Structure 1
Amino acid sequence: MTGMKDVEVVVAHSGRATLRVGDVFLKVDGDPANADIEVQAIGLAPVPTPTVLWREDPVLAIAAVPGRALGALGEPSTASPAAWAAAGAAIRTLHDAPLPPWPGPDLSDIRSKLDRECEWLLANAVLPADVIRLNRDIADAALRPYAPAFIHGDLQIAHVFVEHDEVVGIIDWSGASRGDAMFDVATVTLGHEEHLDDLLVGYGEGADREVIRAWWSLRSLNISRWLIEHGFDPNVRGCEFDVLRARAQER
């Protein structure tokens, strides 16, 4: 039949699925609160975001953004230093914006989750015990009081789209909240530490490199079990386990 468009499964697991049909992304989520936050955050964020086309729970339809992703975890980024600097500038614009009206994560909850995840990683021996314990120590630097900022909350490198060395879209806003600005900076550079300097050129003053490195450890520790249980592999070259090994070697 003519006029038919292929359906691409972008990501799918027990919590949610994202499909692409032409230039439209269909996000299917069993928790409507995630769509609530995404729609609100897209409306508030002072950076390029996708257009919300329609919503009929549990489906949220969003237009594709132009450009190409800044990179992908586990693969070298081919984006230029200027593109990384532009990403840093866009992130800083978000962090300097008025706070969203809903709260963010609590430090005590993050600490408790970190301890649980480390216990699981140790019990299941998915990494050498010294790598887990050294990274747990490094992660402590992130668990400090901070002035909350408007954060994306899941600013993976694949969520930032650039074109001609400019940011043309930032996607997937369901994790947006008030939070630690350094968490966003760490998330977008996770596994791409060699581009941190380029990103900070655009981000400007106030970045704390020790805290960014701590968040590299903390995020990798906290997400590894979820990845394993949902069919993803944190042991792929350049991904979370490599990040943890690299941090431990620096200790």
Structure 2
Amino acid sequence: MTTSPRGWKRTERLDAHRLAEALCTGTGVRLTVEGPCPGGEVGAAYVRWPDGHRSVLKSRPGARIEDLRAGPLAVCEVLRRHGYPCPSTELALQVGGAAVLVQELLPGAPVTRPDHADLDRALALNEAQAGLLADRADVPEMNLYLVDDGPGYCLHEPLRRHGRRSGDLERRIASLGAAHPPRLSGGDVVHHDFHHGNLLRTDGAVTGVIDWDGACRGDRRFDLVTLRFGLHADEQAPGVVDRLDAILDGMPDDVLRLSWAHMGLRMVDWAIRHFAPGDVDHWIDLAEQRL
């Protein structure tokens, strides 16, 4: 997850032309690169097919296609069968150490400042994720990484080294993780990056939910904690944050605290390594609230 406190997403460059050539060599399909996706879409570019339709080209460095097929891509197939608005994957190819995907371009624009209607839609989407993977033990459960490092995020050492507050936070998170199982169990779909910038909207209706790269099996309520961290990035419409906080207050303590610890670790670690020093305190302030 590449997120930022004032813009939620952090942009990274993608060598789209090279990847399009690799896809052509590997699949015989020649895609025309049109340019990077706006709004901080990490490692993504717009491409056009020979028949004229447009898609999104994405790269996952360090990922394997077979792992994605067993996890995020399998999750999206289940969601689509139930009418959930997530993109289909049109091409998938291993290019060296990266998994390269071409995915359906869904209509709509990202939600920038969610209002109460947007929160209603997000809650309805989250409810629709309940139980969809109850019979899919083959889909991996969500790893919280409260004791060990995640794959490029949720790193513990940056918090230990940064300062007293971050070090204290890391010790509390690791202690909580040591007292609980490492995975958040459940039969729900977990998006894993369910912030408002990944919700697409047109004329007041949700037209898509994007960025399912970390999708897994677990407790869907984790995504509501992620949504709360997303709302912390900027000033929101009056009452929206308070309303979501009230919903979180009703969650089981173990689910809420473990999810909050994961997101606190994730965002503070990322802020330390990628943002200005003042932004680190911004995220520590939030991470400490429910720990």
Name the TM-score, length of structure 1 as normaliser.
0.70
2:265 to 221, 227, 238: 221
| Structure 2 residue matching 1:57: 3-state secondary structure | strand
1:195 aligns with 2:240: yes
Unmatched runs of 5 consecutive residues or more in structure 1: 72-77
- Per the alignment, residue 41 of structure 1 pairs with 75
8 A Cα contact 1:50 1:62, kept in partner: yes
- Counterparts of 1:1-251 in structure 2, within 5 Å, are 6-8=34-36, 17-21=43-47, 23-30=54-61, 31-33=64-66, 35-36=68-69, 37-45=71-79, 46=82, 47-58=84-95, 59-71=100-112, 78-99=113-134, 100=136, 101-106=138-143, 109-113=145-149, 117-123=155-161, 125=162, 128-134=163-169, 136-137=171-172, 140=176, 144=180, 147-148=185-186, 149-192=188-231, 195-196=240-241, 198=243, 207-208=251-252, 211-212=255-256, 215-225=259-269, 229=273, 232-233=274-275, 241-248=281-288
* Residues 22-63 of structure 1: CA deviation (Å, up to 9, x unaligned): 642101234324542332221111321113222333431112
Once residues 234 and 152 of structure 1 are traced to their aligned partners in structure 2, the CA distance between those partners, rounded to angstroms, is 28
Task: State the Cα distance separating 1:12 from its structure 2 match.
Answer: 8.6
Query: Letter of the aligned partner of 1:61 in structure 2?
Result: V
Unmatched runs of 5 consecutive residues or more in structure 2: 1-31, 49-53, 233-238
| Structure 1 residue matching 2:139: 3-state secondary structure | coil
8 A Cα contact 1:90 1:167, kept in partner: no
Higher relative contact order (CA 8 A, sep 6+): 1
Once residues 53 and 89 of structure 1 are traced to their aligned partners in structure 2, the CA distance between those partners, rounded to angstroms, is 27
- Report percent identity of matched pairs: 21
8 A Cα contact 2:111 2:201, kept in partner: yes
Once residues 178 and 200 of structure 1 are traced to their aligned partners in structure 2, the CA distance between those partners, rounded to angstroms, is 24
Once residues 144 and 221 of structure 1 are traced to their aligned partners in structure 2, the CA distance between those partners, rounded to angstroms, is 16
Once residues 69 and 143 of structure 1 are traced to their aligned partners in structure 2, the CA distance between those partners, rounded to angstroms, is 38
- Per the alignment, residue 75 of structure 1 pairs with none
Task: State the Cα distance separating 1:129 from its structure 2 match.
Answer: 1.1
8 A Cα contact 1:186 1:215, kept in partner: yes
Once residues 208 and 176 of structure 1 are traced to their aligned partners in structure 2, the CA distance between those partners, rounded to angstroms, is 22
8 A Cα contact 2:75 2:189, kept in partner: no
Query: Letter of the aligned partner of 1:122 in structure 2?
Result: R
Once residues 185 and 135 of structure 1 are traced to their aligned partners in structure 2, the CA distance between those partners, rounded to angstroms, is 22
Query: Letter of the aligned partner of 1:102 in structure 2?
Result: V
Name the TM-score, length of structure 2 as normaliser.
0.62
